[in-house]
Amino acid sequence: MTEKTISPEDYDNFRTYLESACGIILGDNKHYLVTSRLNRLMKEFSISCIGELVKQSDKNRQLHNRIVDAMTTNETFWFRDSHPFEILKDKILSEFSADTKRSQPFKIWSAAASSGQEAYSISMMIEEFTQSRPGSLRQGVQIVGTDISPTMLEDARTARYDKAAILRGISEERKKKFFTEKGIKWEVNPAIRQRASFTELNLMSDYATLGKFDIIYCRNVLIYFSTDTKRDIITRMARTLNPGGYLFVGASESLNYSEAFDMVRCNPGVVYKLKG
Ligand SMILES: C[S@@+](CC[C@H](N)C(=O)[O-])C[C@H]1O[C@@H](n2cnc3c(N)ncnc32)[C@H](O)[C@@H]1O
């Protein structure tokens, strides 16, 4: 299938459909992206054009979910941008461990978890922190990874990564410490996995079922949304944070449209703190 097979009308309808399904905005010239990502699905469902695909997805929830899954960009890697993990270890976990009154586990949300590298990088940081300070964080830390893509969540739960994925951000030392070689893959060790669970969630939907968090990582996903959608998501995320909670966004993202947070410069890197 080539770019020519999408009529301008079908392309516009598809853009509207995708934005209302998951918030993702397509630029004016992403015809090739659309056709290349949906080609296989259209063959599988014997559908000849994007207009028909959208029409059929109205009556077919499975097809709808498969379209959205196929249109997501799932790029991720271990310890991406490094600062959000250093700030966690050097600043936030120290604050948490000074909170001796707290009896409940601390909760961290990886809100666009993709195949799990962010959630497991957080867990590795916690492991290194508690090993260097025996007896700290006795309340425990729970990490909840969510994503709209069931395919990615399945990879995250399986927690087995091929060589190409492992080479992106894991040092030899961490590979030895936190992974076990299983054939041609490396599996994340139980001590790191047991802190993390993964569940499907569309960021456009309600977050109430997730409960409250102390930290949210919402990185490299807001870039796909309109300013109105970003503002709505960040407003609702602010409500899911406990007082004094923290929010990390991607290196190229900022919160200049939200009043709910103070920016804390950590040199290097920044984190956003819920206003008191
Ligand atoms: C580029 S990845 C970012 C992964 C990770 N946070 C990182 O920074 O490395 C973006 C992820 O956002 C997910 N995503 C896109 N739209 C979403 C939505 N409406 N709700 C939940 N997840 C969404 C995609 O499936 C994808 O896995």
Our answer on whether the CB atom of 152 is closer than 6 Å to any ligand 1 atom is yes
The domains of the chain, with CATH numbers, are 3-71 (1.10.155), 83-274 (3.40.50.150)
Give the up-direction half-sphere exposure of residue 141: CA atoms within 13 A in the CB hemisphere. Answer: 27
Our answer on whether the CB atom of 56 is closer than 6 Å to any ligand 1 atom is no
- How many whole angstroms from 114 Cα to the centroid of ligand 1? 6
Can you read off the two tokens belonging to residue 42? 């259209």
In the prediction, which pLDDT does 79 show?
A: 98
In the prediction, which pLDDT does 178 show?
A: 98
Can you tell me whether residue 104 is helix, strand or coil?
coil
Pairing of strands 213-218, 196-200: unpaired
In the prediction, which pLDDT does 204 show?
A: 98
| Angle of CA points 99, 197, 65, to nearest 5° | 135
- Given a contact cutoff of 8 angstroms between Cβ atoms, the answer to whether 255 and 227 are in contact is no
Output the DSSP codes for 209-255: GG--EEEEEE-SSGGGS-HHHHHHHHHHHHHHEEEEEEEEE-TT---
| 169: nearest Cα among 248, 230, 235, 116 | 116
Atom 19, ligand 1: residue with shortest CA distance: 22
Q: What is the mean pLDDT of each run of 10 residues along the chain (276 residues)?
A: 70 97 96 94 93 94 97 98 97 94 96 98 98 95 98 98 98 98 98 98 97 98 97 97 97 92 95 95
Atom 3, ligand 1: residue with shortest CA distance: 220
- Given a contact cutoff of 8 angstroms between Cβ atoms, the answer to whether 123 and 143 are in contact is yes
In the prediction, which pLDDT does 5 show?
A: 74
Our answer on whether the CB atom of 230 is closer than 6 Å to any ligand 1 atom is no
Instruction: Out of 221, 225, 236, give the residue to mutate to test ligand 1, the one with the largest number of ligand atoms within 8 Å of its CB.
Output: 221
Our answer on whether the CB atom of 73 is closer than 6 Å to any ligand 1 atom is yes
- How many whole angstroms from 68 Cα to the centroid of ligand 1? 12
- How many whole angstroms from 129 Cα to the centroid of ligand 1? 27
